[in-house]
Amino acid sequence: MKFFRIVSLVEGVSWLLLLAAMPLKYAAGWPFGVQVMGRIHGGLFVAFIITLAIAATEAGWKASQVARAFGASFVPGGAFWLERQLRREEAAAKA
């Protein structure tokens, strides 16, 4: 689960950096940022999906929990929200 959470956060940061590169492509005529960040983000998204499947299987998540994590990956900042939710669930399970 820890590795999934790290991959999720890194993928979330790459998503925000890709969004930041978009205005540079269209407003400044600098497509290089999107080309590089697009590839990095794409690879990290694939890693996110793979680690999500592994973590969900190991943790015995319900389909709704998997859908929540998957859906969070499409929202800018969703990875950070997901991290808070997973920390709360982990703390509740320990208590």
Task: Give the separation between CA 68 and CA 47, rounded to whole angstroms.
Answer: 17
Supply the pLDDT for residue 6.
95
Delimit the domains of the chain by residue range: 2-94
Supply the pLDDT for residue 59.
93
Residue closest to 13 by CA, chosen among 37, 47, 49: 37
Buried-exposed string 30-69: b where 16+ CB fall within 10 A, e elsewhere: eeebbeebbeebeebbebbeebbeebbeeeeeeeeebeeb
Look up the pTM and report it.
0.88
Task: Give the separation between CA 56 and CA 90, rounded to whole angstroms.
Answer: 14
Mean pLDDT score of the chain, rounded to an integer? Answer: 93
Task: Give the separation between CA 13 and CA 41, rounded to whole angstroms.
Answer: 9
